Amino acid sequence: MGSDEHSMQDDSNLPQGSADENGMDIARLEALASQLPEWGMRDVVVVRHGQLVWEWHAAGDDRLAAIYSCTKSILSALVGIAIGQGILAGPEQPAAELLPELAEAADERKRAITIGHLLTMTSGLEWPDFDKPYRRMKASADWVRFVAETPLAHAPGQVFAYNSGGSHLLSAILTRATGESALVFARKHILDKLGVRDVRWNDHGGINEGGTGIHMSSRDLAKFGLLYLQGGRWGGEQLVPEWWVRASLSPKHKGLMNYEPPIYGQYGYHWWISERSANRWADCPFAFGYGGQCLFIVPSADLVVVVRKRPAGRNQAILSHRVLFDGIAEAVLS
């Protein structure tokens, strides 16, 4: 690759291929690489046609690091697996069936909050200023009870409000339904099968942090993206139900599609969706973490891209989008 920053490591679960043989313009990729330090990028991994074709790492190689709210998209996959196995009933199942903290609420409307509402950020819980209460939740003694006791600002299902506390309720639901932590469930049904050996997931009170908290390598995050690009299949085995993958990557709410700069989009089941009309290239579901940590899936180009950036303010995440839509997209030849 020309320097230490472009070295690729062997991974039997993510075969290597050359950029040019997979329809990528290597000269354009190298030109992009010269821009990445100025934009504060830390890691870029490109997978095309199922092969690792190019990567760049500011530190010289990949490493374990926080993926922040990209955690939500992995949690969504676990919920889908549990539904597929009949452990959970489905998106319409009331969350209160597994959360007595909600079932006992004085406001009876909270019993109408479903798993689907939590997945689509439409629970109705009062959670202003783009996740500001999350810090108070993390300072509380009982995170699940803190979220469950948050007042309702709207009836469930009506209004989108980004809420990592709702994601933590999903992790609690998963743990109470399966009898094991989200991390154990993830290792058993996804991570071990993808060859993800080095992963950490923060927890509190025996429940893995649902809104954030996973630490993993860029390549391993790319493998998760490839799993979804392949409709939930890996090595001939259906790990995540195909219907769940399709449902998760389809818009369920307009989300923050009108936010400027366009770092968000519409919202599915804990996945964002950037449409071609917004990014001027292709429909693109993506997982998005604080400060510009992104896992992009571009089905029309058979492409997965992981971008990790030094956090520097919410709107600076637009630079991670530029890496894909102004850089890598220009390198896709066919």
pLDDT digits (tens, 9 = 90+) for 108-137: 999 999 999 999 999 999 999 889 999 999
Fold category of 69-178 in CATH: Methane Monooxygenase Hydroxylase; Chain G, domain 1 (1.20.58)
Return d(Cα 149, Cα 160) in angstroms, integer: 19
Angle of CA points 231, 234, 240, to nearest 5°? 50
25 vs 278: CA distance, rounded Å: 24
> By percentage, how much of the chain surpasses pLDDT 90?
93
As a CATH number, domain 4-63+218-234+251-331 is 3.40.710.10
On the question of pLDDT at 55 being above 50, the answer is yes
Q: Side chain identity at 277, as an amino acid letter?
A: S
State pLDDT tens for residues 57-115. Answer: 999 999 999 999 999 999 999 999 999 999 999 999 999 999 999 999 999 999 999 99
Provide mean pLDDT across the span 216-225.
98
Domain boundaries, the chain: 4-63+218-234+251-331, 69-178
Tokens linked to 144: 């699940």
- Two structure tokens written together for 211: 């809104």
pLDDT at 114: 98
Report the candidate in 183, 173, 4, 20 with the shortest Cα–Cα distance to residue 87. 173
